Amino acid sequence: MRLGILSRSPGAYSTQRLVAAARERGHKVKVLDTLRFGIDLAGDEPDLQYRGKPLVDYDAVLPRIGASITFYGLAVVRQFEQMDVYTPNPSNGIANSRDKLRAFQILSRHDVGIPATTFVRDRNDVLAAIDRVGGAPVVIKLLEGTQGIGVILAPDIKVAEAVIETLQSTKQNVLIQRFIAESRGRDVRALVVGDRVVAAMRRTASGDEFRSNVHRGGSTELVELDDEYQRVAVQSAQIMGLRVAGVDMLEADDGPLVMEVNSSPGLEGIETATELDIAGAIVDYIANQVAFPELDVRQRLSVSAGYGVADLVIHEGADVLTTAVDVGGLRELDITVLTLNRGTTVIPNPRSDHTLEINDRLLCFGRLDAMRDLVPARRRRRARPRIQPLPDDPIPETSPTGDTP
C-alpha cells in the first residue's frame, strides 16, 4: 500500500509513529505538506499537483490537518475523494468535528449524551441561556478553539456575562455549556479505529485547572472502559463520519457525556499511558479498508429517476404496520432497508422476516412514491396569501419602545 500522511509537522510524535508503523509493515509512506498541493480542475479527470508536479498515485491518505488550515485542507481531502483514494476520515467528517456547534447538533439529534449546551448571539439572550443550562458556574467555549484554547470556566453569572460579551464584541462565536462538577477535572479519551475502541486513557487536570489537556499539565492513566462508554465512543465517531477519532467524554452521574470528537487525535499521550501500538492499529485498519474509498451513498443511489434514499421512523399507528409488518413486506413495495436502528442497536441489511416495531428507524432505498406514503402527513399549509398593495404609509412612526404612538 502507498500511504500519504497529510501533515505540516513531519517531526511531530504522531506523524513519526505513523510513518514508522507503516514502514514496519512493508508499506510505502510519505508525509505530504497539505499546503503544497494544487487542485487541478481543468483536466478530464480530477487531479492534484504536489510541489508543482503531478502527484503519483496513492492508495490511501490519512489527513492530520491543523485547525488553522482547515478550509484548504478539506479542499485537498475532497479532491482525493474525487480521485477514489481511500481516507478513513473524509472531508465531511473532519468539517463536522471542527465546528463544535455543528458537532453537538449532530450528536444530539442521534440521542448521544452531551452536556447541556446552548448557543445565542444577542446579549439580551445570555441570561436566559445560562439559566437553561443550569446556571453558574458555566463553561464558555469558542466554536473554533482547539486543545483547550478558548475554554473558560465562569464561576458566577456576572463573570459569564462579561466574558461572553467581550468575546462576542470581537466577533467570536461561543457556546454556553453546563459545568459537570462531578467529573472533578477529569475526562476520558477513547481512541476509536473503525468500529472499536483500541485504547482509552483518563486525563486528570493539574491543581486548580479544570481543563485536563495533557499539554496543559494534565496527567494520564490507563483506563478500562465498560460497554456503555465504548458504545458511545464508537457511535459518536461513526455518526460524525470518522473512522479514526479521539472521543472525549466526561464521567457524569448519568453516564458518559461526549465533549468532543477529534479527527486528528494525538498519539503520544495515549500510547505512553497504554503502552499499545495505536499507530500500528490505524495503519492496519487503513490497509484492510483501502479497497473501499468513501462515497456519497445518497448521491450515488439517487441517480435513478424516481428512486432515492430516505430515513423513515415507524410511528405508532403508522399505515406501514398494516401494509408491511416486516422488512420483506417493504421489499414488495419496492423499498430496500439498508439499516434498521432499534434503540441503541444497529442492524445492517436486516433479514426479510425481521418484524417492524414502533420507533424503529429505517434507512431505505427505493421508489420515492412508495416511501412518501409511509411518511406521516404533515399539517397542510395555508393557501398562499394574495399580495396586497403597498400601504400609503409603509413605515409608520414608532416610539422608542416599538409602540405606535
pTM exceeds 0.85, yes or no: no
pLDDT at position 380, please?
Answer: 44
Note whether residue 6 is domain-resident: yes
pLDDT at 369: 84
Residue 276 sits in the same domain as residue 188:
yes
Q: Is residue 386 part of a domain?
A: no
Backbone angles phi, psi at 234, to 5 degrees: -65, -45
Instruction: Please tell me whether residues 285 and 301 are part of one structural domain.
Output: no
The region that residue 237 occupies, defined by phi over 0 for left and psi between -120 and 50 for alpha, beta otherwise, is alpha
Q: Considering the domain boundaries, does residue 329 fall inside one? A: yes
Residue with cell 483514494: 85
Report the alpha-carbon distance of residue 244 to residue 222 in Å, rounded: 19
95: left (phi over 0), alpha (psi -120 to 50) or beta: alpha
User: What's the pLDDT at 359?
Assistant: 82
Rounded CA-CA distance 180/57 in Å is 48
Of the candidates 199, 297, 197, which has an alpha carbon nearest to the alpha carbon of residue 243?
Answer: 197
Query: Do residue 201 and residue 263 come from a single domain?
Result: yes
Q: Is residue 394 part of a domain?
A: no
Q: For residue 48, give the CATH number of its domain.
A: 3.40.50.20
Rounded Cα gap, residues 42 and 352, in angstroms: 47
Do 152 and 204 lie in a common domain? no
Residue 396 resides in a domain: no
Please list, in sequence order, all residues whose beta carbon lies within 8 angstroms of the beta carbon of residue 156, skipping any fewer than 6 positions away. Answer: 136, 137
Phi/psi of residue 239, each to 5°?
-60, -40
Is 400 domain-assigned?
Answer: no
Torsion sign over Cα 133, 134, 135, 141:
negative
Residues 6+ apart with CB under 8 A from 358: 314, 315, 316
Cβ neighbour number for residue 205 with a 10 Å cutoff: 20
Kindly state whether residues 274 and 332 are assigned to the same domain. Answer: no
- Residue 318, pLDDT score: 65
Contact 365, 308 (CB under 8 A): yes
Please report, in angstroms and rounded to a whole number, the separation of the first and last CA atoms in the chain: 76
Domain count of the chain? 4
Is 366 inside a domain boundary? yes
Whether the CB-CB separation of 331 and 338 falls below 8 Å is answered with no
Residue 58 domain boundaries: 2-90
Q: How far apart are CA 145 and CA 223, in angstroms?
A: 27
- Pair 39, 70 in one domain: yes
> What's the pLDDT score for residue 378?
54
**137 and 223 within one domain:** no
* Successive 10-residue mean pLDDT values, the chain, 405 residues: 94 94 94 93 80 91 92 94 92 92 91 91 89 90 70 88 87 88 84 94 73 61 92 94 94 90 92 91 93 66 76 73 68 87 83 84 86 63 60 65 50
Tell me the three cell numbers of residue 178: 453546563
